[in-house]
Amino acid sequence: MGDESIFEERCLRAKKMMGLRGVDALCLTPSPDMYYLTGFWTNPSERMTLCIIPRLGEPLIVTSRLYESQVKATSWIENVEVWSERLRQHVQLKNILRRLRLLTGKLAVPERIWMVHYKALRDSAPKATFTSTSRILSPMRILKSDLEVKLMERAAKLADDALEKVMCEVKEGVREFELAARVEYFMRMEGSEGAPFETIVASGPNSALPHYGCGSRTIFGGDPVTLDIGATYGRYCSDMTRTLIVGRVEPRLEEVYRTVYRAHQEALEAIKPGVEVEAIDLAARRVIGDCGYGEYFIHRSGHGVGLDIHEPPYIQVGSHVRLRAGMVFTVEPGIYIPGMFGVRIEDVVVATGDGYRLLTKHPRDLTCV
């Protein structure tokens, strides 16, 4: 992102929210939450990196020597400490929390923090109370700024372009994992920082498994091939799915495709400011149910995307979040006939002041390659 003031400004907003929620500090291990507020990105590791953002006072990052320079180079946070090798981490953690007067405080941790790190915090401050960062940070992270949408648009374009390039290679005799390799390569060469989830290339009957991944199956004529791919840009994720048909399409597969296509279209049309997000799911589910395929639509219609590949809002029945401009999420109805085939169409969209804008631009029409 470059500009450190963005992260610092988010921190100020988070502190205000902490005041409202009675939270004394955020205790973040490596996670999108940590990146969102500090600019420092790494994956969680058994070597604990901990960022403490007290409501009052300066934030602090404690890490291993290995990461010291990197934290200083990428984050706006000036207080960077290194775990001593002489004292047990447990004792150091307690000393730090005592110094910051947090031993009896209300501390918020990410929902996805590893249990072992959560336990280290709890054991160091047995009188503290713990809550999740989500009530502080979700309301912020769920609304993307113009800059965030730009990064996500770029991530979506990386996936669009890679799909465009790989289409001519989807043919008889190719193996699933070869297509995955090609798609990932195309995205990486144009600047993707990596795949935010296991690339899916599911051909023939494998396409009936929504999260199959990819294997060594060879593609045959008539196969549907579901490609579910994503890129990362500026740490923001994209996520798109197309089911292509190799050669001629069977009538049943065509019928299913057209049903999913219409469900996708109806879902898009349900995207309006102020509606509850379950309305989008219901719109897709209605089309598929009316065509008799309801029992084969075995997942929700979408999920928020951002620094996490899955984040709020979740587009499912029972989700009463009201749509606001700046929410970014997938629309991805699918039908899966066990042992036979599956079809899914997935785009990333951003909600706007009067509807939506597609970040994924690739055409959705039935495509025989």
Distance of CA 315 to the CA centre of its chain: 13
Q: Which residue among 53, 109, 128, 277 contacts its own copies (CB under 8 A)?
A: 109
Tokens of 168: 């001519």
Q: Please, are residues 150 and 229 in contact by the beta-carbon 8 Å criterion?
A: no
178 binds its own copies (CB under 8 A): yes
Minimum CB–partner distance for residue 155 and its own copies (Å) = 15
Take residue 39 and report the two structure tokens written for it: 């600019």
The CB-of-215 to its own copies minimum distance in angstroms stands at: 9
Q: Contact 128/104 with Cβ under 8 angstroms? A: yes
The answer to whether the bond into 313 is cis (omega within 30° of 0) is yes
The DSSP secondary-structure symbol of 31 reads S
Could you give the residue ranges of the DSSP H alpha helices within 209-335? 251-269, 278-290
Check binding of 338 to its own copies (CB under 8 A). Answer: yes
Q: Applying CB under 8 A, does 355 fall inside the site for its own copies?
A: no
Residue 310 CB, shortest distance to its own copies, in Å, is 6
- Stretch near its own copies under the rule CB under 8 A, chosen from 147-155, 174-182, 242-250, 319-327: 174-182
Helix, strand or coil, per DSSP, at residue 339 = coil
User: Exposure of 3 by Cβ count < 10 A (0-12 exposed, 13-18 middle, 19+ buried)?
Assistant: exposed
Find, among 259, 262, 230, 227, the residue nearest to 246 by Cα.
227
Tally Cβ neighbours within 10 Å of residue 201: 29
Minimum CB distance to its own copies smaller for 7 or for 296: 296
Instruction: Print the binding letters for residues 50-69 with its own copies: x by CB under 8 A, - otherwise.
Output: --------------xxxxxx
* 111 near its own copies (CB under 8 A): yes
Candidate list 11, 167, 177, 364; residue touching its own copies; CB under 8 A: 177
Nearest CB to its own copies, comparing residues 76 and 185: 185
Q: Rule CB under 8 A: say whether 45 interacts with its own copies.
A: yes
136 and 26 Cβ atoms separated by less than 8 Å: yes
- Of the candidate residues 56, 87, 91, 317, the single one contacting its own copies (CB under 8 A): 317
Nearer to its own copies, 45 or 92 (CB): 45
* Residue 343, C-beta contacts closer than 8 angstroms, at least 6 positions apart: 207, 224, 226, 243, 253, 256, 257, 260, 334, 335
Determine which residue in the list 32, 59, 105, 110 makes contact with its own copies, applying CB under 8 A.
Answer: 110
What's phi and psi for 358, nearest 5 deg? -75, 130
- Contact with its own copies (CB under 8 A) among 298, 322, 368, 369: 298
List the Cα angle 347/365/298 in 5-degree steps.
Answer: 55
Dist CA 318 CA 230 (whole Å): 27
State yes or no: residue 80 binds its own copies (CB under 8 A).
Answer: no
Q: Does residue 143 belong to the site contacting its own copies (CB under 8 A)?
A: no
Selected from 21, 101, 211, 252, the binder of its own copies by CB under 8 A is 211
Check residue 115 for interaction with its own copies (CB under 8 A).
yes
Contact between 43 and its own copies per CB under 8 A: yes
181 binding its own copies? (CB under 8 A): yes
In 3-state terms, what secondary structure has residue 15? helix
Say how many C-beta atoms besides its own lie within 10 A of residue 283's C-beta.
22
Contact between 116 and its own copies (CB under 8 A)?
yes
Q: Is the Cβ of residue 179 or residue 356 nearer to its own copies in the bound state?
A: 179
Tell the smallest beta-carbon distance from residue 189 to its own copies (Å).
5
Let me know: does 112 contact 194? Beta carbons within 8 Å: no
Task: Output the smallest distance, CB 17 to its own copies, in A.
Answer: 20
Q: Identify the residue among 8, 17, 81, 112 touching its own copies (CB under 8 A).
A: 112
Three-class SS state of 204: helix
- For 70, other C-beta atoms within 10 Å of its C-beta total 15
Q: Which residues bind its own copies (CB under 8 A)?
A: 42-46, 64-70, 73, 85, 109-116, 118, 132, 177-178, 180-182, 184-185, 188-189, 191, 193-195, 197-199, 208-213, 216, 298-299, 310, 314, 317, 338
